[in-house]
């Protein structure tokens, strides 16, 4: 029995590593395509986003976040930052394109994230290279890349404020996604897949896609916002007793659970507050 489990685990690791390497090769290919077709601004943005997410992955992989207190603070700061960036940096873009369609698209995106989380449990019976949170992050990244490809002509330059907006949600997404990947027993390299997903849709669509209507843009922005908000909420730290709960931010707590719950609330508020404070500094600079 033990040997069979080891074989299944080894096969799953090989599949995950192979899929990650294929995604990385595809990323290099589309980046080269972007440079060759003169999409230098878009190429710089997607490469910067790729690096920002891998920065979060690196902090998770080489950091030490194993005690309940460390996990609560890590999940809280990251999920609070993700939720604030979804609400402040993504949602307004959907609403300003079309208030009603943008709002419905946000709801649809959230429900897609929820569906991916719930139905993703059905896929645990198969040796797939991604777990539910990484799959949700990949879906968000594909949607975000679609938006960037569609609105390529109106994308701003990579200013400090725009770069901050990318880091504000890519860095914490990389951190929390990496934490759950390791808990699922998958190799950290699979985080390459959501990290490259933006480029895989953004650059080809910037070349091929016609100009979308405001409703279409509102739908793209809204779906991306909703999926990312679901990931953020799903990562909110929750103290549990015994086995971890259904949320990916579940932390097994000891007898000082009341104190950890206080840390959980404080960390999420500080994570969101940090995003606001940094945005405020850059916005008035």
d(C-alpha 82, C-alpha 149), whole Å: 22
State mean pLDDT over 95-100: 94
State the alpha helices, DSSP H only, in 151-256. 160-183, 192-208, 214-234
Model confidence at 214, pLDDT cuts 50, 70, 90, reads: confident
- Give the per-residue pLDDT at 66: 72
d(C-alpha 52, C-alpha 171), whole Å: 5
pTM, entire model:
0.77
Model confidence at 244, pLDDT cuts 50, 70, 90, reads: very low
- Give the per-residue pLDDT at 189: 92
- Could you give the percent of the chain with pLDDT greater than 90? 29
Residue 120, number of CB atoms within 10 A of its CB: 17
Model confidence at 82, pLDDT cuts 50, 70, 90, reads: confident
Contact 106, 94 (CB under 8 A): yes
What DSSP line would sit under 105-164, residue for residue? Answer: HHHHHHHHHHHHHHHHGGGGGS--S--HHHHHHHHHHHHHHHHHHHTGGGPPP--HHHHH
Model confidence at 245, pLDDT cuts 50, 70, 90, reads: very low
Contact 42, 206 (CB under 8 A): yes
Tens digit of pLDDT for each residue in 29-52? Answer: 999 999 999 988 889 989 999 999
Write down the residue that tokens 């600079």 correspond to: 285
Q: Please tell me the least confidently modeled range out of 68-72, 83-87, 103-107.
A: 68-72
Is the CA virtual torsion 188, 58, 236, 94 positive or negative? negative
- Give the per-residue pLDDT at 270: 93
pLDDT of 72 above 80: yes
Nearest CA to 120 out of 34, 272, 234 is that of 234
3-state secondary structure (DSSP) of residue 49: helix
Tens digit of pLDDT for each residue in 18-29? Answer: 999 999 999 999
State mean pLDDT over 80-88: 89
Q: Give 155 or 171, the one with higher predicted confidence.
A: 171
Tens digit of pLDDT for each residue in 104-162? Answer: 999 999 998 888 777 766 655 566 677 777 888 888 888 888 878 877 665 666 667 77
């Amino acid at each position: 029995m033990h040997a069979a489990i080891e074989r299944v685990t080894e096969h799953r690791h090989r599949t995950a590593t192979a899929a990650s390497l294929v995604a990385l090769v595809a990323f290099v290919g589309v980046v080269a395509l972007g440079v060759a077709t003169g999409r230098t601004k878009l190429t710089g943005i997607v490469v910067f986003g790729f690096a920002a997410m891998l920065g979060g992955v690196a902090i998770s992989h080489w950091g030490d976040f194993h005690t309940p207190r460390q996990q609560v603070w890590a999940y809280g700061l990251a999920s609070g930052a993700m939720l604030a960036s979804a609400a402040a940096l993504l949602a307004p873009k959907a609403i300003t394109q079309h208030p009603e369609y943008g709002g419905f698209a946000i709801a649809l995106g959230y429900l897609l994230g929820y569906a991916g989380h719930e139905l993703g449990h059905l896929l645990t019976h198969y040796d797939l290279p991604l777990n539910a949170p990484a799959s949700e992050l990949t879906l968000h990244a594909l949607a975000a890349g679609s938006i960037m490809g569609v609105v390529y002509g109106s994308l701003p330059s990579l200013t400090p404020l725009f770069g901050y907006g990318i880091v504000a949600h890519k860095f914490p997404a990389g951190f929390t996604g990496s934490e759950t990947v390791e808990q699922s027993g998958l190799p950290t390299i699979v985080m390459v897949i959501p990290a490259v997903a933006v480029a895989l849709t953004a650059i080809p669509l910037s070349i091929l896609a016609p100009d979308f209507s405001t409703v279409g843009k509102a739908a793209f922005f809204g779906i991306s916002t909703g999926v990312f908000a679901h990931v953020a909420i799903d990562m909110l730290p929750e103290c549990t007793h015994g086995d971890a709960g259904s949320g990916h931010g579940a932390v097994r707590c000891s007898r000082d659970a009341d104190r950890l719950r206080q840390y959980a609330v404080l960390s999420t508020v500080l994570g969101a507050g940090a995003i606001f404070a940094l945005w405020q500094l850059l916005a008035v600079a």
